[in-house]
Chain A
Amino acid sequence: MMIELSMIWAILIAVAVFLYVALDGFDLGVGILFPFAKDARERDQMQAAIAPVWDGNETWLVLGGGGLFAAFPKAYAALMPALYAPIILMLLALIFRGVAFEFRHHGRGLGAKWWTIAFSAGSMVAAIAQGFVLGGFIQGVALENGQFAGGPLDWLTPFSLLVAASLVAGYALLGATWLVFKTQGELFERARAWVKQLALFTALAMGAVSLATLGVDPRVTERWGLTMTSVDWPTFIKLAPLPILAAVICYLLWRGADQRRHFAPYLYAVGLFLIGYLGLAFSLWPYIVPFAMTPADAAAADNALSLMLWGAIPMLPIILGYTAYVYWIFRAKVDNDAAYH
């Protein structure tokens, strides 16, 4: 059976977005955790833990956005104006975060302090804005003839606020597990404590978002076999492994931090995100603009999709290859003593 080109591209873009979340998520998380560091030296170590890779990580966001434009121009045209405010907010926050990486070390006195705050606030606001985007996306957008036809603040609902808060907790968890992986000594111990607290927060937040998502559209509840009053067990059983697995991973995460594991907590945190992501995909299937457009409805012309596929087939493995290589080069823990000079 031939899989439709549009479906291949939907999966590729979903993978790109997930890689963005898993990779830049820990960068943003480190920024979110910045205010909780003990002193300037610890903040420098935290930054050093992400400095060589953050730029590459952020590129997945460009591939996600650019890919959506290229492969699904109609979905892009429908979603972007609907999510205008949170997307602009995200871009502004990413500007501050991105330049603060460099500027922190060029500023003097107040300047340095300001860029440290800008880095942290930028990371926090970017995470919140992405939560608004995700929340607004899941809710669906008002369309007329395939164009956005709603108001500028449609995305702002209790649901999107909940999603934003959850994403901040989740990114902070990713950041904390990354710090466990990349640091040693005092900061390592502190990061372990963060992981334990944030695992709990994230678990609660995921549960809350999952329940709230059921209320977004009857089609979601139907997909999960749940209504307010009854449970369609055969349907629910098929999807039940997801929440159960999430609970197991939360426990493993907690135990991993307790047992002073270095890399495992990060992998568990990514696993947690993956389960949330898959759960969302099942809930919204088969829509690319929830409850309005499927990938086939929104897709670019076939010749555009196949041209891009011919580029993506050789390029994506190459990109993943050198990305992995760069991570391998910088695999060592951040130098603990370097700051004492």
Chain B
Amino acid sequence: MEWDALLLSRLQFAFTIGFHIIFPAFTIGLASFLAVLEGLWLFTKKPIFKNLYLFWVKIFALSFGMGVVSGVVMSYQFGTNWSLFSSITGSVIGPLLAYEVLTAFFLEASFLGIMLFGWKRVGPGLHFFSTCAVAIGTLISAFWILAANSWMQTPQGWTWADDDTMIATNFIDVIFNPSLPSRFAHMVLAAYLTTAMVVAGASAFALLKNRALPESRMALRMAILMMAIVAPMQIVVGHESGVVAHEHQPAKVAAMEGWWQTQTQQPTILFAWPDEAAERNHFEFGLPGLGSWVVAGDANAEVQGLDAFAPEDRPPVWIVFWSFRIMVAMGLAMVTLGLWGAAAWALKRLDAATWYHRALVLAAPSGFVAVLTGWITAEVGRQPYVVYGVLRTADAVSPVSAASVATSLIFFMVVYAIVFSAGALYILRLIAKGPESDEPPPQSKQPPGTPLGAAIEEAP
């Protein structure tokens, strides 16, 4: 492995997007949660929903801020580090990203101002509208990003132009490419689950500490409802996404599953240690035939293994294999916790189930882990291509020096380490404090004009 501009740029992109994706994954779900809370508050007039809203909106403000700044980085890296990718694919996916800015970014950024600072200046209806606008903006944004990313996974509706760049032959085909529906649904559900796990963990923590009991009980129930419904749905959607991937990106699925040989009766491998040099698995333990049955609906179907692809066309197997397994494990844990919570709720034992509460605190980051490992599975599984089967990552990188990229990578690592550990600290501090059950006093110690100060002082 040579530490050239290509490898360093890949590391830089992986690093910056790995940090970035955590925040949208969280804020997409949290924005919807806030919209529901504010809607319930407007409708029922119960202060419990207001208290929850005012608590979670602080955490939202912090997360959204970090999401915005790390997102601005992403929008410029296409040019700084992947300029050949930009010039080759610009005519095809450029419009998708432009539509994201036009339809989502401005909406989110503008109405966020009203959401955080507008308590005294607009009526409750308009404030609620602003929260909804932000929530819808996050979903629209996810749609366009997933459309562009899915096109890179399953490109269609394009052709080569005379100057060796790509042009679209049909933008409907480009946008609604084969993997978009399942990948978009998978991502949105993942975002909702990520938020549900954090809300459940934070509420369980507050219950264990006997803090803000009515609010924490309510938030816990809302999170469990989300987990119990969405986690099983996610398994189904994830499976669908895998089927589409199998159809269009067989090498990726073979790496995910650890299939080296093309054969009938492909197993579902529960554990193995893939060895890329020897082109086989060590310590393999699997269920024969189940793999074929899952992807083809027939245990005797012949399914391609990695041997169907030249070694230089295969993704790195070890990373894809393990990240996929961690993601699935997190998903199964969420299903279990959702059902456990629903059962405890049905038996009216939810509020006293301290072991369950402890498990939820432990599982609070599981959504983030699942999103990250899922993203790694999808993106590393696409290698060695940046546009699957068409454009190699090596042919997409900018003509910049390795030294430039190495320097910027080090700076990114230092800055992100400072900024995001501080952010995580502040969020954890807020969560540890928990929601307030009482109306906060009008004389806040917070300085004026800050999100917290404004929200608490001016809330009706």
Interchain Cβ contacts under 8 Å between A and B, 14 examples = A59-B109, A66-B101, A77-B87, A77-B90, A92-B411, A94-B69, A95-B419, A101-B65, A102-B62, A104-B450, A307-B171, A326-B110, A326-B113, A341-B443
Q: Are B450 and A316 in contact (CB under 8 A)?
A: no
Bound Cα distance from A51 to B115, whole angstroms: 12
Nearest CB in chain A to that of B444: its residue: A341
Closest A residue to B116 by beta carbon equals A52
A219 at the B interface (CB under 8 A): no
Chain A residue numbers with a CB within 8 Å of B168 are 301, 303-304
- Nearest B-chain residue to A106, judged by Cβ: B426
| Interfacial chain B residues near A303, Cβ < 8 Å | 91, 167-168, 171
Q: Which of A53, A55, A61, A79 gathers the greatest number of chain B CB atoms within 10 Å?
A: A55
- 15 more contacts with CB within 8 A, not counting A99-B423, A304-B91, A322-B110, are A44-B448, A48-B448, A56-B110, A63-B102, A66-B100, A69-B75, A70-B90, A70-B94, A70-B95, A83-B80, A95-B73, A98-B72, A104-B450, A304-B167, A319-B110
- What separation, in Å, do the CA atoms of A101 and B451 have in the docked complex? 9
Inter-chain CA distance A58–B362, complex, in Å, is 37
Q: A139 at interface (Cβ–Cβ under 8 A)? A: no
- Report the count of interface residues on A (CB-CB < 8 A): 82
| A8 contacts the other chain (CB 8 A) | no
- How large, as a class, is the contact surface on chain B? 35 or more
| A91 close to B (CB within 8 Å) | yes
A211, CB-defined interface residue at 8 Å? no
Closest B residue by C-beta to A307? B95
Give the contacting residue for A84; candidates B68, B69, B78, B404; CB below 8 A. Answer: B404
**Inter-chain contact A80/B106, CB cutoff 8 Å:** no
A99 to B66, CA, bound (A): 6
Q: Is the CB of B72 within 8 A of A94?
A: yes
Taking CB as reference atom, which chain A residue is nearest B445?
A341
B→A interface (CB under 8 Å):
61-62, 65-66, 68-73, 75-76, 78-80, 83-84, 86-92, 94-95, 97-103, 105-107, 109-114, 116-118, 121-122, 161, 165, 167-168, 171, 398-401, 403-404, 407-408, 411-412, 415-416, 419, 422-423, 426, 429-430, 443-444, 446-454, 457
Contact across chains for B92 and A304 when beta carbons are under 8 A apart: yes
Q: Contacts of B122 on A, CB cut-off 8 Å? A: 329
Choose among A47, A72, A149, A315 the residue with the greatest number of B CB atoms under 10 Å from its CB. A315
CA distance A60 to B452 in the complex (A): 26
Taking a contact as CB atoms under 8 Å apart, the answer to whether B448 and A322 are in contact is no
B420 to chain A, nearest CB (A): 9
Binds B, one of A156-164, A227-235, A330-338: A330-338
B-chain residues with CB within 8 Å of residue A323 when the two chains form the complex:
106, 110
